[in-house]
A and B are shown apart, each in its own frame.
Chain A
Amino acid sequence: EVQLVESGGGLIQPGGSLRLSCAASGFTVVNRDFMSWVRQAPGKGLEWVSGVDSGGGTYYANSVKGRFTIFRDNSENTVFLQMNSLRVEDTAVYYCARDYALDVWGQGTTVTVSS
């Protein structure tokens, strides 16, 4: 069964850092063209955050550029999102999703940035 499982969310103070993980099963991340992170703030819509392509190219929303870093560990079949300098407005459920058109999604992990 193709599955994505996110982890690493939690409560963090403004300015802090968190690393989210997205563990894939049923397929290998290295063989997929693109993997993304998408977030949803409480009561709001979906916001694409970041993506990594098969060549290791990385892409970011303007709102997180310079603060977040996406990377893959092919040996662990996992995609990570390193989040630094967190802000209150980064509070959201974070989902990872597969391929250019986001065909498979994880269940999400909740990040709360608050003092």
Chain B
Amino acid sequence: DIQMTQSPSSLSASVGDRVIITCRASQGIKNDLAWFQQKPGKAPRRLIYAISSLQSGVPSRFSGSGSGTEFTLTISSLQPEDFATYYCLQHNSHPRTFGQGTKVEIK
């Protein structure tokens, strides 16, 4: 199984900060990498697919990058509505695997 190691597990940041979250895959996953945002009591929402493609309706302050086994989600200027938990997902092979999640909290 492919392991997805996500870091950090949590972070505190202020509105306007630049936030970077990283996922490392235990083996190459081509471009089969997506990022999700989840708020308490809600279903996850896809933000990014194919490493860097922005989901329709998602603000442009969200971006994804990376290749091979190292991937990042960047929020260029954190907004109040961005405080949530973020997950990466690899869908290159079965079973699919998520990162452990990164909780973004208000500083």
In this complex, what residue of B is CB-closest to A34?
B91
Q: Is the CB of A60 within 8 A of B95?
A: yes
Assess whether B71 is interfacial by the CB under 8 Å rule: no
Give how many B residues have a beta carbon under 8 Å from the other chain's beta carbons.
23
| Interface mask (A73-115 → B, CB under 8 Å = 1, otherwise 0) | 0000000000000000000000100001111011110000000
Chain B residues, CB < 8 A from A27: none
- Considering the chains assembled together, what is the distance between the CA atoms of A100 and B30 in angstroms? 14
Q: Is the CB of B1 within 8 A of A45?
A: no
Q: Is the CB of A103 within 8 A of B101?
A: no
Given contacts A45-B100, A46-B87, contact A103 B46 (CB under 8 A): yes
Q: Is the CB of A46 within 8 A of B94?
A: no
| Interface mask (A58-81 → B, CB under 8 Å = 1, otherwise 0) | 011110000000000000000000
Q: Is the CB of B95 within 8 A of A102?
A: no
- Considering the chains assembled together, what is the distance between the CA atoms of A56 and B56 in angstroms? 29
Q: Is the CB of A48 within 8 A of B96?
A: yes
**Residues in B60-103 with C-beta less than 8 Å from chain A:** 87, 89, 91, 94-101
In this complex, what residue of A is CB-closest to B55?
A103
Closest 10 CB pairs of A and B: A48-B96, A105-B43, A59-B94, A45-B101, A101-B49, A101-B34, A46-B98, A100-B91, A61-B95, A103-B46
28 example contacts (A-B, Cβ-Cβ < 8 A) are as follows A36-B96, A38-B44, A45-B98, A45-B99, A46-B36, A46-B44, A46-B101, A48-B89, A48-B96, A48-B97, A51-B94, A51-B96, A61-B95, A95-B43, A100-B91, A101-B34, A101-B46, A101-B50, A102-B36, A102-B44, A102-B46, A102-B89, A103-B46, A103-B49, A103-B55, A105-B43, A105-B44, A107-B43
Instruction: Spell out B's residues near A (CB within 8 Å).
Output: 1, 32, 34, 36, 38, 43-46, 49-50, 55, 87, 89, 91, 94-101
